[in-house]
């Protein structure tokens, strides 16, 4: 195991990380996008983005795009490189505000978090479309880990924390259980060559209807490229 530092709330840090990784001339067979914050108070990343959207979504968007060439070089016809992005069931209630992605008009921690998770699903579907169109041996899928007992809930109300403390053993997944679908997407032979899937409990399932809107996928992709400063 080798560790390289990458702060997904900083576009500069992401670019430095990619430079360091590329310098190693290593293949990249699996990229798991699994970092984030939930229900944080209104605040901004180093680049001035609303934190949920900037860290949960834009950080992964830039990282994935900067690593795409390496992924394409690493994948083969029989063993595709794989991109797995971790979203959440909250994307089902999320709304994408293309005219206010930074939640400047009206900030809601719940709304901002759900929007960032919906954006990850839209991003994954658009990415798979582009990968297929270019004939790349790379697949992109999105995972819902379920409700997992981690520190992600540290910003919820104290009442919710108490309920979580009392009932997590019964209703929450352990971190190991929460990771199982991500691992399935990353290594399972059944997922070889399969892309554009939404996975929950190691099964393909249907995401929110709005996530299949190809025009919305395209518009979000174009806007995201502008925001992080890469070519569309």
Rounded Cα distance between 100 and 218, Å, is 17
Q: pLDDT tens digits, residue range 146-176?
A: 765 555 555 554 454 445 445 554 566 677 8
Rounded Cα distance between 86 and 77, Å, is 25
User: Can you give the pTM of this predicted structure?
Assistant: 0.89
> Given this model, what pLDDT does residue 158 score?
42
Rounded Cα distance between 87 and 98, Å, is 19
Rounded Cα distance between 47 and 13, Å, is 11
What pLDDT band is residue 125 in, cutting at 50, 70 and 90? very high
CATH number belonging to the domain at 11-228, selected among 3.40.50.720, 3.30.565.10, 3.40.430.10, 3.40.190.10: 3.40.50.720
Q: Is 231 a catalytic residue?
A: no
> Given this model, what pLDDT does residue 152 score?
54
Q: Where are the domains of the chain?
A: 11-228
Rounded Cα distance between 46 and 62, Å, is 15
**Least confident range of 34-43, 180-189, 197-206:** 34-43
pLDDT at 101 over 60: yes
Is beta strand 30-33 parallel, antiparallel or unpaired with respect to 203-205? unpaired
Rounded Cα distance between 129 and 127, Å, is 5
DSSP 21-58: HHHTT----EEEE-----SPPS-B-TTS-BHIIIIIII
> Given this model, what pLDDT does residue 13 score?
98
Residues 6 or more apart from 159 whose CB is under 8 A from it?
none
Percent of the chain with pLDDT over 90: 77
**Catalytic-role residue among 57, 92, 113, 153:** 113
What pLDDT band is residue 98 in, cutting at 50, 70 and 90? very high
The alpha carbon of 106 is separated from its chain's Cα centroid by a whole number of angstroms, namely 24
Cβ neighbours around 31 below 10 Å, total? 22
> Of residues 137 and 106, which shows the higher confidence score?
137
Average pLDDT over residues 27-55: 93
What pLDDT band is residue 178 in, cutting at 50, 70 and 90? confident
Is beta strand 81-86 parallel, antiparallel or unpaired with respect to 138-144? parallel
């Amino acid at each position: 195991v080798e560790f390289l530092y990458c702060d997904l709330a900083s576009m500069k840090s992401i670019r430095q990380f990619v430079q360091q990784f590329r310098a190693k001339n290593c293949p990249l067979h699996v990229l798991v996008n699994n970092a984030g914050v939930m229900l944080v108070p209104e605040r901004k990343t180093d680049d001035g983005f609303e934190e949920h959207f900037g860290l949960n979504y834009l950080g992964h968007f830039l990282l994935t795009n900067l690593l795409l060439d390496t992924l394409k070089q690493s994948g083969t016809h029989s063993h595709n490189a794989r991109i797995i992005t971790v979203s959440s069931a909250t994307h089902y209630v999320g709304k994408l505000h293309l005219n206010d992605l930074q939640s400047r008009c009206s900030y809601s921690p719940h709304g901002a978090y759900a929007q960032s998770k919906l954006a990850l699903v839209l991003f994954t579907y658009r990415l798979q479309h582009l990968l297929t169109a270019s004939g790349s041996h790379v697949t992109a899928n999105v995972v819902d880990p379920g409700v997992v007992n981690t520190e992600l809930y540290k910003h919820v109300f104290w009442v919710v924390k108490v309920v979580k403390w009392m009932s997590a053993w019964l209703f929450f997944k352990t971190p190991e259980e929460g990771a199982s679908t991500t691992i399935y997407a990353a290594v399972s032979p059944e997922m070889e060559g399969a892309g554009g899937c939404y996975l929950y409990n190691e099964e393909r399932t249907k995401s929110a209807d709005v996530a299949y809107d190809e025009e919305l996928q395209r518009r979000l992709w174009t806007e995201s490229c502008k925001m992080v400063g890469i070519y569309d």
